[in-house]
Structure 1
Amino acid sequence: MTALALARSWRPKTFSELVGQDHVVKALTHALDQGRLHHAWLFTGTRGVGKTTIARIMAKALNCTGADGSGKMTSEPCGKCPACMEIDAGRFVDYIEMDAASNRGVDDIAALLEKAAYAPSNGRYKVYMIDEVHMLTNHAFNAMLKTLEEPPEHVKFILATTDPQKIPVTILSRCLQFNLKQMPVPLIVEHLEKVLAAEKVEYEVNALRVLAKAAQGSMRDALSLTDQAIAYAAGKVSEESVRGMLGTLDDAYLIRILDCLIAKDGASLLSVANEMGERSMSFSLALQDLSSLLQKIAAAQVVPESVLEDWPEASEIRRLATQLTKEEAQLFYQITITSRPDLSLAPDEQTGFAMTLLRMLAFRPGIGGGGNSSPAPSAPPVSTPRPAASAPRAATPAPAARVSAPTAAPVSVPAAAAPTAVASSAGRPDWHALMRQLPVRGLVQQLAFQTELQEWNDSATGVRATIVTPMPQLASEASVGRLADALTAHFGKPVKIVIEKGEVEGKTVAKVDAQIHQEKRMNAEQMIAADPFIQQLEKEFGAKVVGGSVKPL
């Protein structure tokens, strides 16, 4: 005889056997014990969390007569009376299960409601269980409204759905609604341990954790995957066999990936991706597992006690939490979750996964490539001077002079010039010219353009620069570090930056650029206003130049 699947043979038959839905069990048992029964219940939740199981237990509780045949409605059905045994066997005439996915029309509902008027044949109540009720048509919903609101005393309705948003509010208002929770991984593992112990199957706890995680909150899926793992392993259910069956990634690969990112080792990153490809692993699941690991690392950085001792990777999470900055953990997590949908667009999943790893390396704060070690500070690129840049700069231009001279706009200064090209006679550099010259981009450039030099202490061992910024939110540790690296490369000696918050006395590069742009815009508007053709349009057609629409080239 063929053995029943674990999901069927281990289906709970009483409320006490039900796992993970204590809030629902508590409400229903109290209602049964006190005799305060509603006429319609709606169970919502994802697949495999116990909606149909609870409906069958409720049907038994409503119709149980006890082992001696004289029992009353109870929250603890006996399982031995004819009603309990026939409901478990699926042949109780007064318990009707209907699949709304295949019986969704108004005629199907009308036939069901017509039979509801008749008294039960064998039981105390007629119990109608409509599964996936959200699949009914609008006409079918409307047809059952009146009966659902005021059914005969001998009729109880149990509705179940995985998508309650599609159920009309007129139906929802007539039911008691219970939202069934997804099963947490520890609870699934605990239940699987009991099942495999009773089935006399050897197992590894880590293998059960992998199965529980793959089930994604569904106890039925967990039992089905366990059935498959038993057949696949042909013996002991081990972590290795389960991962091989599911194509999931060993945590060791994830740890190696993060270690390679920390070491800035691009070659090893690609080597890990190639190894995973050779083992035919699922790269989509790999990104899912990597994002989960990064979330645990980020949580450990903020709340160290969130790392549980029973996690196999607990020690590695604590180590990586100290070696990655909070910004890096957040950045890697964001890249991981946003790259999963892109795998389908890549030439193949392995290529997409490898590009995701390289993207993490490329966008890691302070990193511009994937060498085996920290990249040495490179010399600033040499550019051909523009004609406007050929005029000699004033040693220490006054703020007004910088504003009035358009040639002081963001013009590339020859990067090969000696550091003294931006230094005054007193050794204090022209901060504005220096900031324009540095090869920095993005947030670091924004920080550079929003600062003013306050102190410049130059010694044989290095430079200590105190700068003031009105926008301290730009002065993150990573941005200040990259600005200091660029200054160190420029002057050939260590430069330490001290950030102070406050309003600048003069004008920052950003303010100078904004004023220059404003002057150019005003000049452009004056030129447009003085243009004879524009004046003719205004005179003959009543045209007007929209304020703020003129932009200088």
Structure 2
Amino acid sequence: MTDTSAYRVLARKYRPETFADLVGQDAMVRTLKNAFAADRIAQAFVMTGIRGTGKTTTARIIAKGMNCIGPDGNGGPTTDPCGVCEHCTAIMEGRHVDVMEMDAASNTGVANIREIIDSVHYRAASARYKVYIIDEVHMLSTGAFNALLKTLEEPPEHVKFIFATTEIRKVPVTVLSRCQRFDLRRIEPEVMIALLRKIATAEGAEITDDALALITRAAEGSARDATSLLDQAISHGAGETGAEQVRAMLGLADRGRVLDLFDMVLRGDAGAALTELSAQYADGADPMAVLRDLAEITHWVSVVKITPDAAEDPTIAPEERARGQQMAETLPMRVLTRLWQMLLKALDEVAAAPNAMMAAEMAVIRLTHVADLPSPEELVRKLQNSSPPPAPAGGGGGGNGAAQGSTGAQAVHHAQQRMASNPGPQGQTTALAQDLDAALARFPTFEHVIELIRVNRDVKLLVEVETCVQLAAYQPGRIEFVPTDDAPRDLAQRLGQKLQLWTGNRWAVSLVNEGGAETIAQIRDARELALKKQAE
């Protein structure tokens, strides 16, 4: 006779049924056990954490523990539900009339909460407590939260609320203050590997430790993700699963080869790096995954450089661990931080590019060419220790035409004079300062600035300067003035920008509160008035 029983995925088949089965949540389990033992069960709980850490599972275990009556039917609330009484079996199968689960993502409104509020006044039909489990509670609307507040603060003795959420910050503080909060942690790698090995043994599957480490790293602390990936890996490997099958399944690159690529990038060997990237791509690695692995290695090596104990990661093979420690000892932190920033930018570019492989290749080329750039400290040291470059022999190669030759000879002669009088970086700085002073010397007085504005035919600026600027101090390249009451607010900024545009040098134009003379327009009007009086 054919077996028609449906296959259960490993994530459901090995779902914890008691607190003893929960892994990686010791603090929460200890708190709940003590609360049950002392008969101090809160009226509301909120479970928060990333996906797959056991929030809804914990809620169901709490509901079973509250309503378990034991195999003999005389038991009380316990943290070790029997799993065989009518309440335990009904809750496990999701058909208990007094334990109601609601998905807040699809029941967000006040009307949905009003149904709960109306039903809490009635006692449980058969169980000890009515338990309301609301998953993804942060999806409730503001009105729904407000409608629930009073009932949540003073519920009937026979009612318990258990909330689960991945976004605890979106839950109002007024709701959180009425609940006991438990933060479910990511599962530690050692604990996760042990859990996966236990499940694989129970399933009779052969899977290597390296493959389990890859699955653990990909799961990022989520037990559900890890068991789902294990289920897929067992099917992919047909009973015997190794690291290569898991890499192919996840589209990952060999971590050892990623370390090789990392080393090529740091050596600045663009050709070898592109060849290795193409080989990994041909073997099925996703370009985005390769760059993400490079960023992960950069972060890991940086952390190991600061905290050597971080190298003891069970998800990393011993030989890879040794290579990472060696890199941490030799690579300066400035190189690692620069590489990290460039990889973050490269990941964004690959995600937005029409061809991910092309974008990844361009990113690798950029990384290899930046790898051998000197640091700012080295650059300053080289400049300080460098001697002036020798004067070129002849008038320059390849020039054709008398004008070009004459210009080149003049430039060489000028450069030789400059280098002879100003050797080294300090001399170059002095020469620049002298050039700046010479350029600004063309404007010894403020009247020369007015004439410059007039020559450039900026009538608006000319009128504003003549009527709104009460000059307080002037020297070539620097102007201080007191603005009149009707002066435009951006007059100083625009005047500085225009002078820089016309002279090629930066001008410091600033406002002061006192010490300003009369405006040019006032001086001109006073002079005209005096001339009229003399004429009379």
* TM-score (norm: length of structure 1): 0.73
Q: Is 1:320 aligned with 2:333?
A: no
CA distance in 1, matches of 2:434, 2:81: 81
CA offset digits 1:99-126 (Å, max 9, x no partner): 1112222222111221111111111100
CA offset digits 1:142-201 (Å, max 9, x no partner): 221211111111000001111122222222222222221222323211210111122221
CA distance in 1, matches of 2:248, 2:130: 48
518 and 17 in structure 1: CA distance in 2 versus 1, 3 angstrom threshold = farther
CA distance in 1, matches of 2:442, 2:321: 59
1:149-188 correspondence to structure 2 within 5 Å = 149-188=153-192
Give the letter aligned to residue 151 of structure 1.
P
CA offset digits 1:455-492 (Å, max 9, x no partner): xxxxxxxxxxxxxxxxxxxxxxxxxxxxxxxxxxxxxx
Q: 1:81 aligns with which of 80, 85, 106?
A: 85
214 and 537 in structure 1: CA distance in 2 versus 1, 3 angstrom threshold = closer
1:230-379 correspondence to structure 2 within 5 Å = 230-308=234-312, 310=314, 311-312=316-317, 313-366=320-373
Q: 1:430 aligns with which of 423, 429, 444?
A: 423
37 and 237 in structure 1: CA distance in 2 versus 1, 3 angstrom threshold = same
Give the letter aligned to residue 326 of structure 1.
M
Question: What is the SS of the residue equivalent to 2:79?
Answer: coil
Displacement of 1:386: 11
Q: Which residue of 1 aligns with 2:473?
A: none
Give the conservation status (yes or no) of the 8 Å contact 2:288–2:351: no
CA distance in 2, matches of 1:25, 1:514: 76
CA distance in 2, matches of 1:196, 1:524: 89
Question: What is the SS of the residue equivalent to 1:188?
Answer: helix
1:71-110 correspondence to structure 2 within 5 Å = 71-110=75-114
Q: Which residue of 2 aligns with 1:25?
A: 29
509 and 320 in structure 1: CA distance in 2 versus 1, 3 angstrom threshold = farther
Q: Which residue of 1 aligns with 2:70?
A: 66
CA offset digits 1:70-92 (Å, max 9, x no partner): 11111222222221122112222
> For structure 1, which segment, 539-548 or 105-114, has the greater mean C-alpha deviation from structure 2 after superposition?
539-548
What count of residue pairs does the alignment treat as equivalent?
445
What do you get for the CA RMSD once the two structures are aligned?
3.3
Whichever of the two has the greater Rg, that structure is: 2
78 and 526 in structure 1: CA distance in 2 versus 1, 3 angstrom threshold = farther
Give the conservation status (yes or no) of the 8 Å contact 1:262–1:324: no
248 and 68 in structure 1: CA distance in 2 versus 1, 3 angstrom threshold = same
Q: Which residue of 1 aligns with 2:528?
A: none
Give the letter aligned to residue 348 of structure 2.
P
Give the conservation status (yes or no) of the 8 Å contact 2:302–2:333: yes
Displacement of 1:432: 3.6
Q: Is 1:148 aligned with 2:118?
A: no
Q: Is 1:527 aligned with 2:428?
A: no
> For structure 1, which segment, 252-261 or 540-549, has the greater mean C-alpha deviation from structure 2 after superposition?
540-549
CA distance in 1, matches of 2:437, 2:192: 66
CA offset digits 1:375-402 (Å, max 9, x no partner): xx9x999899997995899xxxxxxxxx
Give the letter aligned to residue 204 of structure 1.
T
CA distance in 2, matches of 1:169, 1:146: 14
CA distance in 1, matches of 2:313, 2:141: 51
CA distance in 2, matches of 1:509, 1:54: 75
Question: What is the SS of the residue equivalent to 1:87?
Answer: helix
Displacement of 1:132: 0.9
> For structure 1, which segment, 249-258 or 56-65, has the greater mean C-alpha deviation from structure 2 after superposition?
249-258
CA distance in 2, matches of 1:46, 1:210: 19
Give the conservation status (yes or no) of the 8 Å contact 1:134–1:163: yes
Displacement of 1:250: 0.5
Q: Is 1:220 aligned with 2:224?
A: yes
Displacement of 1:131: 0.6
Give the conservation status (yes or no) of the 8 Å contact 2:18–2:81: yes
Q: Is 1:201 aligned with 2:208?
A: no
Give the letter aligned to residue 430 of structure 1.
P
Give the conservation status (yes or no) of the 8 Å contact 1:125–1:155: yes
265 and 67 in structure 1: CA distance in 2 versus 1, 3 angstrom threshold = same
Give the conservation status (yes or no) of the 8 Å contact 1:432–1:509: no
CA distance in 2, matches of 1:175, 1:521: 77
CA distance in 2, matches of 1:385, 1:21: 82
CA distance in 2, matches of 1:199, 1:116: 43
CA distance in 1, matches of 2:36, 2:206: 40
CA offset digits 1:410-463 (Å, max 9, x no partner): xxx76xx7xx98357xxxx712477x5xxxxxxxxxxxx6xxxxxxxxxxxxxx
Displacement of 1:14: 1.0
Give the letter aligned to residue 362 of structure 1.
H
Give the letter aligned to residue 431 of structure 1.
G
525 and 359 in structure 1: CA distance in 2 versus 1, 3 angstrom threshold = farther
Give the letter aligned to residue 210 of structure 1.
L
Displacement of 1:271: 0.7
Displacement of 1:218: 1.0
CA offset digits 1:27-82 (Å, max 9, x no partner): 22111111112111111112111000110110011111122211111122222222
CA distance in 2, matches of 1:513, 1:265: 44
Give the conservation status (yes or no) of the 8 Å contact 1:247–1:280: yes
Give the letter aligned to residue 22 of structure 1.
D
Give the conservation status (yes or no) of the 8 Å contact 1:299–1:306: yes
180 and 526 in structure 1: CA distance in 2 versus 1, 3 angstrom threshold = farther
516 and 291 in structure 1: CA distance in 2 versus 1, 3 angstrom threshold = farther
Displacement of 1:543: 4.8
Give the conservation status (yes or no) of the 8 Å contact 1:328–1:365: no
Where does the alignment leave 5 or more consecutive residues of structure 1 unmatched? 369-376, 394-412, 437-448, 450-507
Question: What is the SS of the residue equivalent to 1:340?
Answer: helix
Displacement of 1:337: 2.2
Question: What is the SS of the residue equivalent to 1:66?
Answer: coil
Give the conservation status (yes or no) of the 8 Å contact 1:361–1:367: no
Give the letter aligned to residue 527 of structure 1.
H
Give the letter aligned to residue 366 of structure 1.
L
Among the aligned pairs, what percent are the same residue? Answer: 35
